Structure 1
Amino acid sequence: MIKHIVMWKLVDATQAPPFKQLLETCKGIVPGMREFEVAVQAEGLEANHDVALYSVFDDAASLQAYVVHPRHQEVVATLPARASRSVFDYKT
């Protein structure tokens, strides 16, 4: 299993809800995607980023299929402006 975590700091934090909505259109787009959860910073809780993605894939091949999938590429191109992006992939 490969866990894929991505976090974004947005140029305009008010864009977090539409950012989340766009990302959620990628849920289930490839075989081998087991989990896909998008969250936005919750007021009153500690966070250094505005949006986070937690996803789980069967293997590196299914993660790569997600990365290059046309829908994923389309979403990446239309997401609201990002100030930074952090990624952490690991095997379990």
Structure 2
Amino acid sequence: MSTALLATRPVRHIVMWNVAGDTPEDRSAAIETVRHAFEALRGQIPGLTRLDIGIDCSRVDYACDMVLVTDFDSGASLRAYATHPLHLAARDRLQGLRIARFQVDYPINAEDIA
């Protein structure tokens, strides 16, 4: 798929994290801090059409602690989000709380946007 086409197609952006913490309480607090920081972006970023946060309940050793699922109306909106001041401020506030990060971005059909 061409870069130009991706710029205009809706995109799903999924990020999974593990968080820092020496105790279960520390990790729970870190999860809540990350969750609140990203939930505060809901309705604040142009082109962001969906924002869901999930907290792992499986507790298997290979699972990430949490996931962020966002949909953007276009690849261009996702790129703008990456440098949006509110997103950058949230990212900076969370420095050190997230110790591992995994990401997948892929085009979705407009009718699949929730």
2:31 paired residue among 9, 13, 16: 16
SS at match of 1:26: coil
1:89 is aligned with what amino acid?
A: D
- 1:1-92 aligned at under 5 Å gives the runs 1-12=10-21, 13-14=27-28, 15-42=30-57, 45=58, 48-79=63-94, 81-92=97-108
Q: Which structure has the larger Rg? A: 2
SS at match of 1:3: strand
**Preserved contact between residue 17 and residue 40 of structure 1 (Cα < 8 Å):** no
Q: How far apart are residue 58 of structure 1 and its match?
A: 0.9
Q: Which protein has the bigger helix share?
A: 2
Instruction: Please give the root-mean-square deviation of Cα atoms over the aligned residues, in Å.
Output: 1.5
TM-score (ref. length: structure 2): 0.72
Question: Unpaired runs of 5+ in structure 2?
Answer: 1-9, 22-26, 109-114
**Preserved contact between residue 29 and residue 66 of structure 1 (Cα < 8 Å):** no
TM-score (ref. length: structure 1): 0.87
Q: Which protein has the bigger strand share?
A: 1
Q: How far apart are residue 46 of structure 1 and its match?
A: 5.2
User: Distance between the aligned counterparts of 2:98 and 2:46, measured in 1?
Assistant: 28
Q: How far apart are residue 85 of structure 1 and its match?
A: 0.2
Q: Percent of counterpart pairs with the same letter?
A: 29
**Preserved contact between residue 6 and residue 53 of structure 1 (Cα < 8 Å):** yes
Q: How many aligned residue pairs are there?
A: 90
User: Distance between the aligned counterparts of 2:40 and 2:98, measured in 1?
Assistant: 18
